[in-house]
């Protein structure tokens, strides 16, 4: 009997250890489920990029940043933002931003926002011009941007400037944020005004010279006797009368 108990002892110890370990495993709390991602915030994305202080300031002063946050979290189309770097703003002509009215500053920032989500591949095949949020603010003006390129390189053109679309700060739907090295200047605001070609003056019409005989011609046409015709008739009448007088004297003699 003692031999049997000694043989079973290790088995009992193993069984107790297994029960203890299983109890510890079940007692551990389950790992928390991942929290749902918070609402998208364009300012937070740009701050993480680290070189967009001027663009962030303009987004805040024009209230467009809040509009993007609201629309991108509620729109099924998504949005695309082209973010100029601080160097891009520094390379503008001095006074460019200060000369803009508050409404023009709004249009300039809206010109960097498209009301649709685009991947890099989408930009290579999209139909130009691509509509921006500034479209329609000037009574139907297009305010579109054009994309060209091949492979991994995408270029954006406004009609005033052309630059390369750089890396993406965010490329997941519903918001794509791409870096651009130049401020996108819309042609509707910064393009040279179209000059109309001057119309060559036509030859001046000369008024016809008035003839001295015009009064005579008009009098003849109207049947009114002129001075010349009146004097001729008077002479003829005197000659006829003188002839009658001479004829009468001949009979008397």
Written as six digits, the tokens of 153 are 């390189």
Q: Which of 141, 175, 173, 171 is nearest to 159 (CA)?
A: 141
Alpha helices in 183-226 (DSSP H): 187-190, 214-222
Percent of the chain surpassing pLDDT 70: 60
User: Which stretch of DSSP H or E encloses residue 170?
Assistant: strand 162-170
pLDDT at 83: 98
Instruction: Please compute the mean of the pLDDT values over residues 18-39 and round it to a whole number.
Output: 56
Find tokens 């944020």 and name the residue: 177
In the chain, alpha helices (H):
2-27, 42-49, 53-61, 64-72, 86-90, 102-110, 120-125, 187-190, 214-222, 227-252
pLDDT at 98 over 60: yes
State pLDDT tens for residues 181-195. 999 999 999 987 655
Residue 46: is its pLDDT beyond 90?
yes
* Mean pLDDT over the full length of the chain: 78
């Amino acid at each position: 009997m003692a031999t049997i108990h000694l043989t079973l002892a290790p088995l009992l110890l193993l069984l107790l250890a297994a029960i203890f370990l299983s109890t510890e495993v079940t007692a551990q709390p389950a790992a928390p489920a991942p929290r749902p991602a918070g609402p998208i915030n364009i300012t937070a994305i740009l701050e993480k990029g680290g070189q967009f202080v001027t663009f962030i300031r303009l987004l805040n002063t024009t209230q467009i940043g809040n509009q993007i946050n609201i629309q991108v979290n509620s729109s099924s189309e998504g949005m695309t933002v082209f973010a100029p770097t601080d160097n891009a703003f520094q390379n503008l002509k001095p006074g460019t931003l200060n000369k803009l009215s508050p409404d023009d500053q709004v249009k300039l920032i809206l010109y960097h926002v498209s009301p649709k989500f685009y991947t890099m591949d989408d930009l290579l095949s999209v139909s130009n011009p691509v509509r921006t949020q500034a479209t329609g603010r000037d009574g139907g003006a297009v305010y579109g941007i054009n994309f060209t390129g091949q492979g991994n390189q995408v270029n954006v053109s406004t009609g005033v400037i052309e630059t390369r679309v750089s890396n993406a700060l965010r490329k997941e739907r519903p918001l794509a944020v791409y870096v651009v090295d130049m401020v996108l200047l819309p042609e509707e605001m910064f393009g040279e005004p179209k000059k109309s070609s001057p119309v060559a003056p036509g030859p001046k019409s000369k008024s016809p010279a008035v003839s001295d005989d015009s009064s005579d011609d008009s009098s003849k046409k109207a049947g009114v006797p002129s001075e010349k015709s009146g004097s001729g008739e008077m002479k003829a009448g005197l000659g006829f009368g003188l002839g009658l007088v001479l004829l009468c004297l001949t009979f008397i003699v």
